[in-house]
Amino acid sequence: MSDKQASIFTTSDGTEIYYKDWGSGQPVVFSHGWPLTADAWESQMMFLAENGFRAIAHDRRGHGRSSQPWHGNEMDTYADDLAELLDHLDIKDAMLVGHSTGGGEVTRYLGRHGTSRVAKAVLVGAVPPIMLKSENNPVGLPISAFDEIRKGVATDRSQFFQDITTPFFGANREGAQVSQGMRDSFWLQGMMGGLKNQYDCIKAFSETDFTEDLRKIDIPVLIIHGDDDQIVPFEGSAKLSVELLPQAELKVYPSGDHALADTHKDDLNADLLAFAQA
């Protein structure tokens, strides 16, 4: 247990991982989406910490305030870093919460390291089972979609991170209420990370197959997804994951976009608290 603070710990390969550790009580551990940081969860962390939980979130390697190593920018290492963080803090009976790429990180962690430290998990707008379209996954997105992301990041990362806020927050939808502040926060968090790390992470979040990880998970999992998610479409992700998980509950947010932590903050906070207390 710790008082409100932010810290850095060093993984076994020498990578420094920044994390926040707020409040006390049953731990809730958050994993953020690409190309963001732990700050993407700040509203949920404060809400849960104020409601009797210990809220922890780290910046994935290559993102935010963590090291930007040339190596290890793939899902197995992301999961191993999370495992080392949970070991470092001796976390027990936790609820893991992952958004988008972070949902993949949580899923790979559970498939690779088991559930001895975890009681339940939540996947929010998460990338599993696999985003890439193939013969076995006809509802996925074509490789050209991810090549365009790679091209945008490599050509003009700053402008790309500004442009992608439109589909990310659903700002192109009628009635959308997306502030400039939300867009600025996305851009700022994105620019804190490393170019090589974020470039490599595109392959990690799009081509990693989490099917067997999902089948192994022996704890309750709540899946939350917007049915108008333009970044990780519902049909190719949550709809398939709930069929693979042994103990899953699906909650679909009507007209929900990919940025539920911001655009549907109150609904998401309430659902996370209810699931944590169940």
Q: Catalytic residues, which ones?
A: 100, 229, 258
Closest to 233 measured CA to CA, from 148, 170, 163: 170
Question: Which residues does 178 contact at the CB level (< 8 Å), separation at least 6?
Answer: 165, 169, 170, 171, 263
Coil, helix or strand for 29?
strand
Helix (H) or strand (E) holding 169: helix 165-169
Tokens in use for 76?
Answer: 């197995």
Torsion angles phi and psi, residue 208, rounded to 5 = -75, 130
Distant-in-sequence, close-in-space partners of 92: CB < 8 Å, separation ≥ 6: 27, 117
Q: Read off the tokens for 176.
A: 């959308």
CA pair distance 79, 85, nearest whole angstrom = 10
With contact defined as beta carbons under 8 Å apart, do 198 and 34 qualify?
Answer: yes
Angle at 104 between CA 99 and CA 108, to 5 degrees: 140
